[in-house]
Amino acid sequence: MAINPALEPISRGKERWAHFWVLAYLLAAVLLFFGQVLTGTGVAFAAMVLLFHLLTGLTLKVLGGVWNLFGLSVGVLALQHVTVSQVAKVIFLQSADAPLQHPLPTMLMYCLGMCGILTAALIYRFLNVDKAPALLRQEEDPRRLAVLSLIFTALSVVRFFLLQRYGVYEGAGGGVYIGGWVGPLRQLTFITVLAVAYGTASVILASQGRRCVGPVNFVAIIVPVLAGILGAVRADTAGVFVTFVLTCIAFQFKFRFLHFAVAAMAAYFFQFIMFPYALYARNEGEVRIGGFEDRIEKAASTLGDVVTNPGKYKDIEKAKEEQERYEFQRMRYFGRRLPTLDRYSMIIVNDEIIQATELRGTTGWQTTEAGLEMLIPRFLNPKKEAFGTSNWIARRGMGLVGADDTYTQITLGYFCDGYMSFKWAGVYFFSVVIALAYFSVYHLVLGGHLHRNVYSVSLAFIITWIFSEGTIQAQILNIVQYPIFLLMVTLPVVFLAASLTKRWRSAANVYEASARPAQTT
């Protein structure tokens, strides 16, 4: 099928702009340094922030920029842990190092961790892993993509109802089942985003770049959104929209004013409706307690209340903030509760883990062993933990998580986990090993580039998020277990879709074949 040339990447244009973006990045890093110094941040701390960004920029250069799955992952890590918070501090005219107990060791940890990732990137390129073919090949036939989207949408609907019917304890107090066949089913989070990426790519290609929404991907988008509302899960719902946008960019769709307006409405929905709803619904709203019908009724009632009376939930959050103990208030990097910015201010959380390590000592291989134990199926390891190591690590510090909270699994990252394990040697060692394994495994499974790669764009949100936020245990699962589940489910479905569509031929191809002159012998 003929493809609109406008959809093809313009390599010369990219090369022309490459030097501009390098200079712009360096200028921004230098301006941030001076901005921090002028707002009261210590020169040594500001210089280390500058060094961190120089190391990040060099790593991105080695990996091929942010339009690459691994460059994007490193960029998100830098933004979430350091960049966003430091820029916000300058905007608020606040000293960046004042709230930290160990400002210089914390930034040294980040610089050393980025050095480890840079080392992994150099090894990855030196071994030519980036030249190896991927197991999951690119799909560009719009009809086959549509079939794949429909299959995965159907699977996501079945998965949703099975988890809601058999994965939730409906007795007093609520809860979820984690053993048996329900456990592996919970790991198949990629089904929903694959359906969205397949469907969106199909619509764009079939319309020659004129449309990005059609019946196929609309259904694929709406199903996980409704599931996220019922389960009060923000990440799953946000991941669907991020996947949609990334797929549009990957297939060179040209956004218009209407698309930006819809994007603004979606951002408003997440910030002021979905996020407050999710925080309240899974606690006071009790949408995860009771029978299936009861949970649907609670979710609808709570969501309607959030939409019609948003001030009520702001007052609830304000009251909670006023009642917080000092150690929790101290973790507010900007001096007050700012949920969105707090999510991108992991520097103060990592600072607290460094403080805890200095007071309580290192933990050795404990979190690594916990990650390896999680790989063993529950029927072979009946005592397998239900949750990860994140809250266990957080409880070594103060003000990070409540004493009775075993569910939250707060954001930490693996730099501080490495420091807690073996201090500076642990930061560098785990950064090299985790990054090299992450780059290599996912390149061999998906391919590293994002352009027209439905697999990379569909999983970009999930695996990038884990690479940035996950502890060592989470990284082990992300690198070993997740790709196995992905291949076990995706390869048979791709084979099925290929079998269903292999006899389809477009009228244009048939006409071209019949129009060729017969060859004479």
Tens of pLDDT, residues 337-355: 787 788 888 999 999 999 9
Which of 195-209, 280-294, 380-394, 409-423 has the weakest average pLDDT? 280-294
> What local confidence, expressed as pLDDT, does residue 509 receive?
41
Q: Which of 188, 209, 195 is nearest to 147 (CA)?
A: 195
d(CA 45, CA 365): 30
Which residues lie closer than 8 Å to 119 by C-beta, 6 or more apart? 428, 431, 432
The residue-averaged pLDDT of 433-457 equals: 93
Helices (H), 92-212: 103-126, 142-166, 182-186, 190-206
Q: Which residues contact 363 (CB under 8 A, 6 or more apart)?
A: 420, 421
CB 56 within 8 A of CB 107: no
Confidence of residue 447 (pLDDT cuts 50, 70, 90): confident
Q: CA 251, CA 212: separation in Å to the nearest integer?
A: 10
**What pTM value is reported for the model?**
0.87
Sign of CA dihedral 465, 468, 473, 475: positive
- Token code pair at residue 150: 């429909």
Q: How far apart are CA 156 and CA 164, in angstroms?
A: 12
Compute the distance between CA of residue 113 and CA of residue 506 in angstroms, rounded to an integer. 52
pLDDT at 159: 86
> Count of CB atoms within 10 A of residue 109's CB?
26
Most confident of 326-330, 376-380, 453-457: 453-457
Q: In the structure encoding, which two tokens stand for residue 402, read together? A: 């409540």
